[in-house]
Amino acid sequence: MHPAPDMTALRTDRREWLRSGMFGLCGAALASAGARPLAAADPPARNGKSHLKLSLAAYSFRQALTAKPPAMTLEQFIEYCAAQNLDGCELTSYYFPKEITRGYLLRLKELTFRLGLDVSGTAIGNNFCVPPGPEREKQLALTRQWIDYAAEFGAPVIRIFAGSVANGSSEAEALELCIAGINESLDYAAEKGVFLALENHGGITATADQLLAIVRGVKSSPWFGVNLDSGNFRTADPYGDLARIAPYAVNAQIKTEISPNGRKEEADLARIVSILRAANYRGYVVLEYEAEEAAETAVPRHLAALRKLITPSPA
């Protein structure tokens, strides 16, 4: 048997790494309790008027896309989005083939453009709370790889996750690790012209306070913002929390259910759209369907409801 790792030593190593130049200016600022970060991410500049477009996330058809053999390919998903007369489609990374070639990415780009669709974005399952070491480098490499892919096939934004507190660590340490990972990845994303949108997705982004602590710690960049996921807060007032993060949104995923205090219920889509409008959000409203009814029957109905809500009334 291998001896148990010395957790005190591991925590010391992480602290030393966080103080090093690899962590950057933000980590040094956050190390002092109550200190304001040297640079904070500001809400994206708007023009004072909301404008919403409709998209669908491939995750909505996850059963068909992951069936063996697949009952739907990403190309067929794109064709489905065109048949639904959408403005865009989210080509979620989880449903790409294991071997991704430039030819495949360009084929997706050609197909979406020919069918009159934007690629509204993509998503990766990263974890930036991993401590220094090979696994963290793997997470950073994954992010850079998908920034390259996104730039190639035309996805303007990548939904990224923060992650969860690692064993033997603390939330404060996880916060610093996450901010460092975003800052390092953000430099590369800016070079490639791809936005990074941090999603409220449990872990250290389970509450609006947690998410905003990360957002305010990230260095100022026009290439960073929030992915507002309407179904992921399980707080006492999820609608209120969505309103707090909406000013930072550069992408919006809309679910048909919401969970106040963890109790799942049907979402008030009109209220969610009004929250986006109140924040002068301009961009995609992406239906991410994950309720129990079959996607084949539920998705068209929910798309129709969202289309009615986001279509401006005649002047």
Q: How far apart are CA 128 and CA 115, in angstroms?
A: 36
User: Mind listing the pLDDT tens digit for each residue in 31-68?
Assistant: 333 334 444 567 888 898 999 999 999 999 999 999 99
pTM to 2 decimal places: 0.87
**pLDDT at 19 > cutoff 60:** no
Average pLDDT over residues 210-215: 97
User: Mind listing the pLDDT tens digit for each residue in 246-262?
Assistant: 999 999 999 999 999 99
Least confident of 20-29, 84-93, 305-314: 20-29
> What's the start-to-end Cα distance of the chain, in Å?
74
| Domains, the chain, ordered by start | 25-30+37-310 (3.20.20.150)
